[in-house]
Chain A
Amino acid sequence: MGQLGTYALLLGLALSGYGAVAAALGAKTDRPVLVESARRTAFGLFATILVVNGAMMIALLRNDFALRYVVENSSRETPAFFRALSLWAADDGSLLLWNLILAGYIAAVALRFRRDRPATFPYALSVLFVVQVFYLILVNGPATPFATMSSRPADGAGPAPLLQNHPLMAVHPPFLYLGFIGFTVPFAFGIASLLAGHGTDEWVSIIRRWTLVVWCFLTIGLLLGALWSYSVLGWGGYWAWDPVENVALLPWLLSTAFLHSVMLQERRGMARLWNIALVIGAFSLMTFGTFLTRGSVLSSVHAFAQTAVGPAYLAFLAVVMLVGFGLLMWRLPTLRTPARLDSAISREAAFVGNNVLLLAAAAIILLGTAFPLVVEAVSGQQITVGGPYFRSAVTPVFLLLLLLAGTAPLLPWRATNRARALRRLRVPAVAAALVMVATALAGVRNVTAVAGFGLAALVFVANGQEVVSGLAIGRRGGRSGIVRTMLRGRRRYAGLVVHVGLAMVAAGITASSTLGQQTEVTLKAGQSTVFAGHVLRYEGLRTDQQPQRIVLSAPVKVNNVGGGGAGTLDPRMNLYPAATEPIGSPSIHRGVVWDLYASVISLQEDGNSATFRFYRNPGVNWLWLGGFVMALGGVAAAWPVRRRHDDDEAPTSVRRTRAPVEVGAV
């Protein structure tokens, strides 16, 4: 298996090197055959990397302890499910998955443009291959996933305990990778358009949908990460402003900005320079995030062990920024667009505001994340920037963004008919006011909470109202009328749905961050405490010896204060052989409004006494649901729907200038 993997990796490197050269050369010398061969190479590359990952997966499942990676990340006792997950449990293996996803994206691009090829396609393909060359070099040298052991040990260490403690690990990293790596495609087309130097808007319409797909993946990946943090780490929260969480959020903010500002370019021919800068920025931030996480410059829950790949990432980051922003400056004269806003109260103006705010949020987060590095470089002192900075600096920006999301969709393009806009805003504004008054009357004195709920209501009602009125108009045409209306205005309705999801997320974050309660208490077996309307009784320790770990359960009986049982919470501690400290597993009663959450902090007197932390968190489920709705809206916007007249068209491609003639298609 080891040899198969090693040779396949070399083959993959050769293939992507060839693809990069052939695509660029074919475009430069106008030889479509070369471009076509590069395009087909993409499929060969994907198959090769698939073999690489398959080899590692088989080695892990069969516990082939001749391989160092298997010894370090699997063991005889590890269940098969977590053995498979070990593929991305450490740096070397996850780089294999990373390469696979990148090769998958290249193959998808190659498939998508098999006929209808924009002029930028060959260059974009070449850029994609170049990025793959970099990531394949990493696993062919600095990182050695298929390194063998000098002597074959009888057993391995098993995956890091935190990674084998919850099945969410199966989905969080792959989705995040799909989101992260996906930024290569918009970046490639952006660079290609700069290389080709057309200064056209063609690339923008090509990558809007790719960016949407990537955005959906990243949204889901971030959401799953938050869900993992909440369900596994046992600290009662879902976002810790950990550097690695932050750097995953940065490209999300930039791509969200792009998905809005792209409409300025599509509709009005504005913001050309801005959009391409956003795409290059998002990819640079993604690379920066990778460097920060894998380059062993900082410690966090996500940091991988010390590896030799740090300098390679840094060099790649430098190349990306130099080439990206260098080309941007080079082509500056062709990218200038007339900057004109017809009215300060128009959709265009709102998009500009949205972009300014999203970038401000990104800048605040980047500053807080990079600040410790700067301080350490200058003074040698180690500091951390914690949650309070991020919360206090970012909250106002996010509140303003909510205000925009609740008003902008009601504004028309160009100049405004103010009276009409105000009329449509009436219901949402009243709803927001009512919610704010109700929140204040309910005894909430936190200004942020009141504003957060009010603005969430504004966004929810304003966007929901638009969807409903669209449905009402469509209903006049019967069931097919609804479908037609929704399909015709698909982008608009999908966007509105994303905003509705955003409103739910905002309400969830506001509620859980301002109205939660928590307590820490030590209970002897049989002893009770009262917390947030519940009587909680510790039932005494139970021990369960499993093959790969020892599970210590500290069940807590939950009764309502007024009487009536509500079940049992079962927080646990897991002892893994390779861990110096026990790994906790919280227990959560999830509810529509309130979550009751328990984790066991420590055990004393052989478990006759236990220290618990209990949380009562409101709105956390709205966050998951809202995030899901956002992703759903994104999928709806990105879903390829063939318009009727497309089918009627002859299957000849739209030939653009210098578009390669199809080979083998006729």
Chain B
Amino acid sequence: MRRITRRRGILLGVVAAVVSAVVVLLSTGLGKDPSVVASPLVGRVAPDFTLSQLNGPPMTLSKLRGQVVVVNFWASWCTECHTEQAALDQTWQQFQDSGVVVVGVNFEDTTGDASDYVRTAGVAYPVVEDTDSRTALAYGLRGIPETFIVDKTGRIVDRIIGPVDATKLSSEINEVLLAGAR
């Protein structure tokens, strides 16, 4: 009887050990975001664009040299973009006097829908239209929202896939501003 109990204990131990090993192994994959990929664009000069503004004159990225530019791709039909709206607004309010420009690049949308959204959501920063999606292609967009941070020399320093977080974004911008000042 005792032999059976001991063998049973060993076998149960083996099951528990194997299951734990499997769980540990599989859980390593959980923390990572499979959508994060190193972008070959980071460190390079941001692809230039001249796009018409929803309410204002056309904007050219290269004319913003000397300022930090947050290029945010979005659309009115994109729910994740609605989520990050507040964070982008806050960033704009906080940094617009410190040489930072937020540019919303409207992607695969209609002018009417985009203008409606900008008006109702109270978007204050400039919004341009990427009507033929050329700019999106040049930036190798995976989906929206997607945000690129461009430093004062016009180089891309970071690429954020998915909605941005206000605290993270502002700390990154601070870093870029500091690095530019050094």
Interface check A99, CB cutoff 8 A: no
> How many residue pairs at the A-B interface have CB separations less than 8 Å?
108
Interface check A332, CB cutoff 8 A: yes
With contacts A155-B76, A297-B30, A374-B25 known, is A577 near B15, CB below 8 A?
Answer: no
Find out whether the CB atom of A155 lies under 8 angstroms from the CB atom of B113. Answer: yes
Which of A13-21, A311-319, A408-416, A467-475 is the contact stretch? A311-319
Nearest CB on B from A283, distance (A): 14
Identify A377's interface contact among B28, B75, B82, B143, CB under 8 A: B28
Residues from chain B with a CB closer than 8 A to the CB of A154 are: 76, 113, 116
How many angstroms from the CA of A530 to the CA of B32 in the assembled complex? 49
Find out whether the CB atom of A298 lies under 8 angstroms from the CB atom of B29. Answer: yes
Residues from chain B with a CB closer than 8 A to the CB of A296 are: 30, 33-34
- Which residue from chain A places its CB closest to the CB of B14 in the assembled complex? A329
Which of A256-264, A320-328, A492-500 is the contact stretch? A320-328
Find out whether the CB atom of A373 lies under 8 angstroms from the CB atom of B25. Answer: yes
Interface check A157, CB cutoff 8 A: yes
Q: How many residues of A contact B (CB 8 A)?
A: 41
How many angstroms from the CA of A318 to the CA of B34 in the assembled complex? 23
Q: What 1/0 flags go to B41-68 for Cβ under 8 Å of A?
A: 0000000000000000000000000000
Find out whether the CB atom of A314 lies under 8 angstroms from the CB atom of B27. Answer: yes
Which of B16-24, B148-156, B172-180 is the contact stretch? B16-24
Residues from chain B with a CB closer than 8 A to the CB of A72 are: 79
How many angstroms from the CA of A83 to the CA of B113 in the assembled complex? 21
Find out whether the CB atom of B29 lies under 8 angstroms from the CB atom of A373. Answer: yes
Interface check B35, CB cutoff 8 A: yes
- Which residue from chain B places its CB closest to the CB of A315 in the assembled complex? B23
How many angstroms from the CA of A329 to the CA of B4 in the assembled complex? 11
Find out whether the CB atom of A299 lies under 8 angstroms from the CB atom of B34. Answer: yes
How many angstroms from the CA of A317 to the CA of B30 in the assembled complex? 14
Residues from chain B with a CB closer than 8 A to the CB of A333 are: 4
How many angstroms from the CA of A6 to the CA of B32 in the assembled complex? 30
Find out whether the CB atom of A153 lies under 8 angstroms from the CB atom of B77. Answer: yes
Interface check A630, CB cutoff 8 A: no
Interface check A546, CB cutoff 8 A: no
Interface check B26, CB cutoff 8 A: yes
With contacts A373-B26, A377-B25, A580-B141 known, is A151 near B19, CB below 8 A?
Answer: no
How many angstroms from the CA of A68 to the CA of B8 in the assembled complex? 51
Identify A332's interface contact among B11, B20, B108, CB under 8 A: B11
Q: What 1/0 flags go to A136-180 for Cβ under 8 Å of B?
A: 000000000000011101111110000000000000000000000
Identify B26's interface contact among A151, A153, A297, CB under 8 A: A297
Residues from chain A with a CB closer than 8 A to the CB of B136 are: 580
Interface check A291, CB cutoff 8 A: yes
Chain B: number of interface residues, binned into ranges: 35 or more
- Which residue from chain B places its CB closest to the CB of A299 in the assembled complex? B34
How many angstroms from the CA of A274 to the CA of B108 in the assembled complex? 56
Find out whether the CB atom of A326 lies under 8 angstroms from the CB atom of B116. Answer: no
Interface check A367, CB cutoff 8 A: no
How many angstroms from the CA of A481 to the CA of B32 in the assembled complex? 64
Nearest CB on A from B119, distance (A): 12
Find out whether the CB atom of A306 lies under 8 angstroms from the CB atom of B23. Answer: no
Residues from chain B with a CB closer than 8 A to the CB of A318 are: 19-20, 22-23
How many angstroms from the CA of A580 to the CA of B133 in the assembled complex? 8
With contacts A154-B113, A325-B15 known, is A314 near B30, CB below 8 A?
Answer: yes
Find out whether the CB atom of A580 lies under 8 angstroms from the CB atom of B142. Answer: yes
Interface check B124, CB cutoff 8 A: no
Interface check B171, CB cutoff 8 A: no
With contacts A151-B82, A306-B33 known, is A157 near B77, CB below 8 A?
Answer: yes
Q: Which of B12, B19, B33, B141 has the most CB of A within 10 A?
A: B19
Nearest CB on A from B7, distance (A): 8
Find out whether the CB atom of B11 lies under 8 angstroms from the CB atom of A329. Answer: yes
Identify A322's interface contact among B11, B19, B77, B116, CB under 8 A: B19
B window 73-90: CB within 8 A of A? 75-79, 82
Residues from chain B with a CB closer than 8 A to the CB of A295 are: 26, 29-30
With contacts A321-B22, A577-B108, A578-B77 known, is A329 near B12, CB below 8 A?
Answer: yes
Nearest CB on B from A330, distance (A): 6
Q: What 1/0 flags go to A286-319 for Cβ under 8 Å of B?
A: 0000010001111100010010001100100110
Identify B29's interface contact among A157, A321, A376, CB under 8 A: A376
Q: What 1/0 flags go to A630-654 for Cβ under 8 Å of B?
A: 0000000000000000000000000
With contacts A322-B15, A377-B28 known, is A314 near B23, CB below 8 A?
Answer: yes
How many angstroms from the CA of A155 to the CA of B109 in the assembled complex? 11
Find out whether the CB atom of A314 lies under 8 angstroms from the CB atom of B108. Answer: no
How many angstroms from the CA of A310 to the CA of B19 in the assembled complex? 17
A window 94-108: CB within 8 A of B? none
With contacts A296-B34, A377-B28 known, is A326 near B15, CB below 8 A?
Answer: yes
Q: What 1/0 flags go to B111-131 for Cβ under 8 Å of A?
A: 001001100110000000000
Q: A149-B82, A317-B22 are in contact. List 19 more A-B contacts (CB 8 A).
A: A71-B79, A150-B82, A151-B120, A153-B77, A153-B79, A154-B76, A155-B76, A158-B77, A296-B30, A299-B34, A314-B23, A325-B19, A326-B16, A329-B11, A329-B12, A332-B8, A577-B108, A580-B133, A580-B143
16 CB contacts below 8 A, A to B, read: A71-B77, A75-B77, A154-B116, A291-B26, A297-B32, A303-B34, A314-B27, A317-B26, A318-B23, A321-B18, A325-B15, A329-B11, A373-B26, A373-B29, A376-B28, A578-B108
